[in-house]
Amino acid sequence: MHLILEGIVPRTFDIWIEASKTSKRARELHQRTSRPGQLARPLVEDLAGLGADIKESAREVPAALARSPENIFQHHRSYRAQNWFDFLQLFAHPLLDGRASLEVRKNLALLARIYSVSTQEELREEDIRYLEQAVREFVESYENLYSDPTVCTSNLHGILHLADCVKNCGPAWGYWQFTMEKTCGNVVSWLRGSKLKDESVSNAIVLHQQVNLIRWQNPNTCLSWEEVFMQDRAMSSLTGLVDKVKRPPEFTDEQWEALAAYFDIQPPSAAMIHEMQKTMVHFRKYRANREDIVTSSLVTDRPESRCSRYVSCQNNVNERYFGVVDRLFSCTWHREDHQLALVKVFDEVHCANNQDETYGRVQTLKSRKSYLVCICLANIECTVGIAYNRFTKQEYILDRNWVDCDLYGSTIESGLRAAHDDWTW
């Protein structure tokens, strides 16, 4: 949505930069915060450090990110919509801890929630009512934070009509312009030479559609992020293990103990080990969903590549884990096939306290001490990353599902989780 990703979020960051400057204009704004028509006090500190933290986290963020993180302080003018999406949904909330006031972070978290709700696959009547309330709350808090008249742009007014728009037309992904812009870019790339342009584009379109039909022959074909929203749920068979290993490595005693604990066998018996070894197949990759590819320690880590081994997952009793994937494999036990993963779970993960629960499910990582557990692959939700905030000198787990949490009491839970309405988009 251009309204948010290329309108409100970039303009907000420009305001932060303007307020942090040491120019005469900035000093006047700081001194006269109580006067109407003036920018509020500088609410974000150390923007240069914020940009450096985003850049340095490039090796430990989810590999599913379409664009590698760049220093937002130095390159925000060249940021595209995908960069601003990553900043809004992933980096802003943990890395603004200590740098920004609670009001700024809550305002930005509310904007992220509005974006998430308006672009989800289905919309219920509760979602519409929540958007109507949330956009009003966002605009009111935005005006209180940034009292300069220059912040009241058409984008800020346009978001007030967001609820009516999705009510009349459905979720925003059905008619946003990102797909059209991608298509226009493809058409330009299809042009070859200065003659017979119509025939060149026509042939390219036919070949492109023929390639798209391959996915119906091979459901393991990767989909682009635009196609993810346009495909039916029938493509759910995409999830699965890929890239089989010819010579699987031997398990250590610790790994066998974790596997035995999963099947509630203590200690691991020689019969169990023998039976599983006959049917065990190791894999290098696992597609957790239509976006994330989780890799195991069998894949050689390259320094320049982004991490795809940090995962967010749950065990069989719904205990939430953050950890590093060690092994991906399938095996047979008691004539039943199991797809499993060994995960080194972080032992010291601290949740946000109740007085400052701005981040939802984003967690503080106290240390990287870990213990080994075995989980079902179906319990891996998504890949996550780790970012270090030099301002607070803490590491944060970057979970892209943080926005599913209730940020403002029971408002979201009552407005989004009820299922008594009989219509959906």
Give me the pLDDT at residue 36, please.
44
Whose structure tokens read 């020689």?
Answer: 270
* Residue 334 vs residue 391, higher pLDDT: 391
The rounded distance, in Å, linking the Cα atoms of 201 and 188 is 9
Which of 4-18, 61-75, 301-315 bottoms out in mean pLDDT, i.e. has the lowest?
301-315
Give me the pLDDT at residue 406, please.
42
Which of 49-63, 112-126, 215-229 bottoms out in mean pLDDT, i.e. has the lowest?
215-229
What is the bridge-based pairing of β-strands 363-365 and 370-376? unpaired
**Measured over all CA atoms, what is the biggest interatomic distance in the chain, rounded to whole angstroms?**
79
3-state secondary structure of 66: coil
Give me the helices (H) in 119-224, please.
125-145, 154-158, 162-169, 178-190, 197-212, 214-217
Which of 12-16, 143-147, 235-239, 412-416 bottoms out in mean pLDDT, i.e. has the lowest?
412-416
What is the residue-averaged pLDDT of the chain?
76
Going by pLDDT thresholds of 50, 70 and 90, the confidence category of residue 301 is low
Give me the pLDDT at residue 237, please.
40
- For the cut 80, the answer to whether the pLDDT of residue 336 exceeds it is yes
Radius of gyration of the chain (CA): 24
Q: Could you tell me which residues are beta bridge partners of residue 311?
A: 323, 383
Nearest CA-CA partner of 344 in 374, 323, 314: 323
Give me the pLDDT at residue 117, please.
87
- Continuous segment of H or E residues that includes residue 398: strand 394-398
Length of the chain, in residues: 425
- Continuous segment of H or E residues that includes residue 244: strand 240-244
Give me the pLDDT at residue 369, please.
86
Q: Which of 179-183, 209-213, 400-404 has the highest mean pLDDT?
A: 179-183
Give me the pLDDT at residue 236, please.
39
First to last CA, the chain: 18
Give me the pLDDT at residue 411, please.
35
Going by pLDDT thresholds of 50, 70 and 90, the confidence category of residue 57 is confident
Give me the pLDDT at residue 149, please.
63
Domain boundaries, the chain: 2-174, 238-412
Give mean pLDDT, residues 187-191.
79
Give mean pLDDT, residues 86-115.
86
- For the cut 60, the answer to whether the pLDDT of residue 38 exceeds it is no
